[in-house]
Chain A
Amino acid sequence: MLIACHECDLLQREVPLPRGGTARCGRCGAVLYRSHPESLERTLALTVGAILLFVLANAFPIIGLSLQGQVIQTTLWNTVRTLWNEDMRSVSALVFATTIAMPALQLAAFTYLLLPLRLGRVPAHFAPVFRMLQAVRPWGMVEVFMLGVLVSLVKLAHLAGIVPGVALWSFAVLMLVMAAITSEFDPRSLWAKASALR
């Protein structure tokens, strides 16, 4: 089988890989493909975990300030709404898109594609959903948001006591699970499975 490097377009022959192996382009060094044992099963399992964490991360306060016996807390949605009301609509939309909408779309698309495949059928609109997934993935920035929360935590620490919320921990774990999904998901396995089922 011939494949083209997605970064330099060099044609090269596909070789079978040992477990855990990585095939790199002979010319530019880009990763062509990796050995992904049980890629789809693992991605699906991680996606289910990520959905639970995502719900927790959105439902509970991220951090709170305690000042004179009073605790003020904020959720992610609250953050988006405050920015919107402060007339920072573009920034609000950006935060909403990168921390809520895109990760949610990504998790929904993974579930939509992988769950039916696991049950032995190819879902309708398989190809467009796959393309949407690929387009959405660079815009989910859970890990950057997490670092942003930590920086603001330090910034506010001199003003008041900091009360870490449930969502802070959920976000921290969600960040790791999302990173695991990125490394486990293998589009080649997805297409191989889909065409085997058709």
Chain B
Amino acid sequence: MAGEDLATMISRVSLGDRAAFSALYTATSPKLFSVCLRILKDRTDAEDALQEIFVKIWHRADRYAASGINPLGWLTAIARNHSIDLLRARKPVASNIDEDGWDIADSGADPEQAAVLKGEGKRIDRCMEELESDRAGAVRSAYVEGLSYQELADRHAVPLNTMRTWLRRSLLKLRECLDR
């Protein structure tokens, strides 16, 4: 499904076009359902979430027009945010921002390494390769599965604060790499 077609469908949905809404559902519900399934891990919950997500899409379509972002990215963000909110509401996690794990200063890549990497483009995949593989894995599964810091720590068998530090340093390295 070309992004342009999806953008057109969303703009028509914003005008109350039910046929466009139906077409948008047909085109994107398998992807968004997959988001719900991966994060909520329960088919009934995922089906309920998918309904809520498309109700939101119907009501928020008019906001899309002004955002100018990739339409599938916009739809996926609605699905991820809804699913993660559900997950966190159902199974609360400890707060993170005011906790430890802010020892995130980093020595940075050495100049030679940076010079080599510079020519490799800015795509996230290239930058992910600069991270140690277990940390890159933690970043990716946090995003894809909506895992909490505690779940990530359990999965990687490290203390919670260590996981926070891992992920925060990884985010800064990614930011630095993407900005390079």
Bound pair (A, B): no
A residues at B contact (CB < 8 Å): none
